[in-house]
Amino acid sequence: MKKHAVKDLSLAKQGQKNIEYAEMQMGALLEVRKRMQKEKPFKGLTIGLALHVTKETAALVRTLKSGGAKVAIAGCNPLSTQDDVAAALAKQGFHVFGWKGQSNKEYYENINHVLDYKPEITIDDGCDLVTLAHTHRKELLDNIIGGTEETTTGVIRLRAMEKDNILQYPVIAVNDNKTKHLFDNVYGTGQSTVDGILRATNTLIAGKTFVVCGYGDCGKGVAGRASGMLANVIVCEVDAFRALQAVMDGYRVMPIAQAAKLGDIFTTVTGNKNVIRKEHFTKMKDGAILSNSGHFDAEIEIPALKKLSKSSRQLRPSMKEYTLRNNKRIFMLADGRLVNLSAAEGHPSTVMSLSFCGQTLAAEYVLKNSLNPGVHLLPESVDDHISKLQLKTMNIKKDSLTKEQSKYLGSWKEGT
């Protein structure tokens, strides 16, 4: 079995420093790690992961190891691996497979290397690891006790597998933790998406028309940050309630067909495919910037953009210029892959501390409770515990109910 496959082991020194810097900001996760070190809930078990290999993920895998696990990890996106971090993890003895700029074939080969370690627990981001185990590596399924899933798109795929009676083991939808999707997706994706756009383009946001497709948790975060930087934000939505939320939050809402003509910068965060497509590219302004922060690179119809173009060139590291036959130029960031992880460093560490407390505690929960195959939620008490840990590490004290207040809230007798 392959021990590891990374770009360049000599990058390990910087990777190690980056991991240390991340851990300084991940106090809640370190609290969980302290307990795991004593209790060793994962002793004798192998945990297989497909996650973005970032400095924050390194803090997670080091926590799982402290809990007694043997860990094998691959990236969950061909462009998101931080090569220095991967090198540092390999030097620390983790089985890590991935580098920035993998081909599709290499991407799946690397996930297969993780599965070669026959994990008892899977931790996935986007459901490619689980899908591979259920299709090409079915022989491994009997050995798997349970899994956890990080993101909205992964949870959607898992629920579809459950509906089709295919999912063979229990998986905790970590994305659905309050302490995950209401922080990571909103504040994390919001900030890091704008960070990715800025690092790729160094464009001025103030005064620009910024189109956000999808007004879910991530879309709310991106729209809020863009508007905070004084862009005029337009939201495109297919869901009536969320479109209405966007209106009440003060944004213009309109179909993408209309917004295509107005936007200077576009970001898709829908989890859907071909949200910006052929008929929209031709209407765009010269110099329009396109980016995606949804899980897969299917949200912007890049094959159609290529067909409409007479030429293209890599203008800057994460910025490709397409010149259409009508002579307008369109700038595509990070080849339509998650711009926050491909052109920047992904979410800030503090927010990932919350998400990865969720991952660690969900892995422990799925191990200790015999759950039926299917998609499960982490109990609210565990989710609340994560909030308490985070407040503690921020040295913030909250109020508590008095006995009288608790009684009042549990009773129907007192009225007007």
Q: Which residues bind ligand NAD (CB under 6 A)?
A: 151-153, 181, 185, 189, 213-219, 236-239, 242, 269-272, 275, 293-295, 338, 340-341
**Number of residue whose CB is nearest ligand NAD:** 216
Nearer to ligand NAD, 70 or 280 (CB): 280
Nearer to ligand NAD, 116 or 176 (CB): 176
Q: Is the Cβ–Cβ distance between 68 and 40 less than 8 Å?
A: yes
Q: Is the Cβ–Cβ distance between 79 and 103 less than 8 Å?
A: no
Nearer to ligand NAD, 46 or 293 (CB): 293
The secondary structure of 2-25 as a DSSP string is: ---B-S-GGGHHHHHHHHHHHHHT
Q: How many of the other CB atoms lie within 10 Å of CB of 77?
A: 25
CA atoms of 213 and 235, how far apart (whole Å): 6
Beta 319-324 vs 121-124: how paired, if at all? unpaired
Nearer to ligand NAD, 134 or 337 (CB): 337
Q: Is the dihedral of CA 348, 267, 50, 4 positive or negative?
A: negative
Nearer to ligand NAD, 12 or 213 (CB): 213
Cα radius of gyration (the chain): 22
Nearer to ligand NAD, 195 or 217 (CB): 217
Q: How far is the CB of 172 from ligand NAD (least distance, A)?
A: 16
Rounded to 5 degrees, what angle do the CA atoms 146, 128, 75 make?
100
Q: How far is the CB of 286 from ligand NAD (least distance, A)?
A: 24
Q: How far is the CB of 237 from ligand NAD (least distance, A)?
A: 5
Q: How far is the CB of 142 from ligand NAD (least distance, A)?
A: 29
Q: How far is the CB of 200 from ligand NAD (least distance, A)?
A: 14
C-alpha 166 chain-centroid distance? 24
Contacts of 258 (CB under 8 A, 6+ apart): none
Residues in the chain: 416
Q: How far is the CB of 133 from ligand NAD (least distance, A)?
A: 20
